[in-house]
Amino acid sequence: MKKQDGTDHRLMLDAVREAGACALARFRTEQKVWRKSKYHPVCEADIETNTVLSRMLKDERPSYGWLSEESDDNDARLTAERIWVVDPIDGTNSYLKGLPEFAVSVALIADGRALMGAVYNPAANEMFEAVAGDGARLNGETISVSDCAEIADASILASRSERREAGWPERFSAENVHAISSIAYKLAMIAEGRYDATASAWPKADWDICAGCLLVAEAGGTITSIAGKDLRFNKEQPKHETCLASNGYLHEALKSELGKWAEK
Q: How far apart are CA 77 and CA 110, in angstroms?
A: 10
DSSP for 42-75?
Answer: EEHHHHHHHHHHIIIIITT-TTSEEEETTS---G
Q: pLDDT at residue 23 above 90?
A: yes
For 178-213, what is each residue's pLDDT tens digit?
A: 889 899 999 999 999 999 999 988 899 999 999 999
Write the CATH number of the domain with boundaries 3-143.
Answer: 3.30.540.10
Q: What's the CA dihedral at 191, 195, 235, 259 to 10 degrees? A: 140
Nearest to 68 by CA among 48, 80, 54, 81: 54
For 4-16, what is each residue's pLDDT tens digit?
A: 678 999 999 999 9
Residue 153, CA atoms < 13 Å, CB-side half-sphere: 8
For 120-135, what is each residue's pLDDT tens digit?
A: 999 999 999 999 999 9
For residues 202 and 152, the answer to whether their CB atoms sit within 8 Å is no
Q: How far apart are CA 71 and CA 77, in angstroms?
A: 13
Q: pLDDT at residue 21 above 50?
A: yes
Any residues with CB less than 8 A from the CB of 194 and at least 6 apart, and which? 146
Provide the pLDDT for residue 170. 64
For 28-55, what is each residue's pLDDT tens digit?
A: 999 999 998 777 899 999 999 999 999 9
Q: What is the CATH architecture assignment of 151-261?
A: 3-Layer(aba) Sandwich (3.40)
Domain boundaries, the chain: 3-143, 151-261
Q: How far apart are CA 187 and CA 216, in angstroms?
A: 7
For residues 107 and 114, the answer to whether their CB atoms sit within 8 Å is yes
Nearest to 106 by CA among 185, 207, 7, 188: 207
Element of type H or E holding 244: strand 243-246
